[in-house]
């Protein structure tokens, strides 16, 4: 595992292997979220957990969370989520994704979320998620977005997204680096906030002398 930026730079310098470009439709199944006909009615002891856009974290992984549960529904198999599914924000100004890596039991994603389930052995779900969140993929969604006030990415735009697919080993390394960078960002944000509080306290004391 890569643990320092020196190792990251070394890895990047060595990762010049051959990769191929494929579309999402060649690598994964894209499923629209469950279309609830009306407002979701929560049930404390509901049998089905419902994942909504507001539940998605800013990072790459969905580890846990307090999800709304509903009474058992007649939900078709294609709407059921499982660990490794990539959840995509199809609505909004930034169309990013997260990987489901926690077991919530019976669970569905509510529209306008989409669920991407990898079907190719040559692709890691975490790598797919990482690629979707990169500027190149975001530019593709910008070109294919529909609407202005209610910007939407349709299923075909997701399926047509091209992905560079390197070896599985390289994918794993890229994901490790991405997670490292994500953790560093969180720590730096906490540090900045603490520093701001410290500076504010020092200045307040100076102002009251």
Round to whole Å and give the CA distance between 95 and 145.
10
- Identify whether residues 38 and 59 lie together within a single domain: yes
Nearest 10 degrees: Cα torsion 194, 197, 200, 206: -90
Could you tell me if 150 and 200 lie in one domain? Answer: no
pLDDT digits (tens, 9 = 90+) for 162-204: 999 999 999 999 999 998 887 777 778 788 888 888 888 888 8
**Both 90 and 193 in a single domain?**
no
Give yes or no: residues 15 and 113 share one domain.
no
Q: What is the pLDDT of residues 83-104, one digit of tens each?
A: 999 999 999 988 999 999 988 8
Q: Mark whether 118 and 46 lie in a shared domain.
A: yes
Range of the domain at 72: 21-165
158, 62: one domain: yes
Contacts of 127 (CB under 8 A, 6+ apart): 171, 172, 174, 175
Summarize pLDDT for 43-94 with one digit per residue, the tens. 878 888 899 999 998 888 887 667 888 887 667 778 999 999 999 999 998 8
Give the contacts of 36 (CB within 8 A, at least 6 positions apart).
50, 110, 111
195 in helix, strand or coil?
A: helix
| CA–CA distance, 88 with 99 (Å, rounded to integer) | 9
State residue 74's pLDDT score: 66
């Amino acid at each position: 595992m890569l643990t320092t930026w020196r190792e990251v730079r070394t890895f990047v310098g060595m990762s010049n292997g051959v990769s191929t470009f494929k579309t999402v439709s060649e690598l994964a199944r894209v499923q629209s979220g469950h279309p609830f006909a009306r407002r979701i009615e929560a049930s404390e002891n509901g049998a089905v957990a419902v994942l909504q856009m507001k539940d998605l974290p800013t990072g790459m992984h969905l580890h846990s969370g307090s999800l709304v549960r509903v009474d058992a529904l007649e939900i078709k198999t294609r709407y059921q989520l499982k660990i490794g599914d990539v959840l995509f924000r199809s609505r909004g100004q930034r169309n990013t994704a997260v990987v489901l890596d926690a077991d919530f039991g019976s669970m569905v994603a509510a529209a306008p979320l989409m669920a991407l389930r990898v079907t190719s052995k040559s692709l890691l779900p975490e790598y797919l998620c990482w690629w979707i969140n990169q500027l190149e993929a975001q530019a593709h969604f910008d070109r294919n977005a529909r609407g202005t006030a209610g910007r939407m990415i349709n299923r075909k735009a997701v399926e047509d997204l091209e992905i560079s697919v390197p070896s599985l080993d390289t994918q794993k390394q890229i994901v490790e680096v991405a997670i490292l960078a994500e953790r560093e960002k969180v720590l730096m944000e906490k540090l900045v906030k603490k520093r701001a509080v410290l500076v504010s306290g020092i200045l307040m004391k100076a102002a009251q002398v």
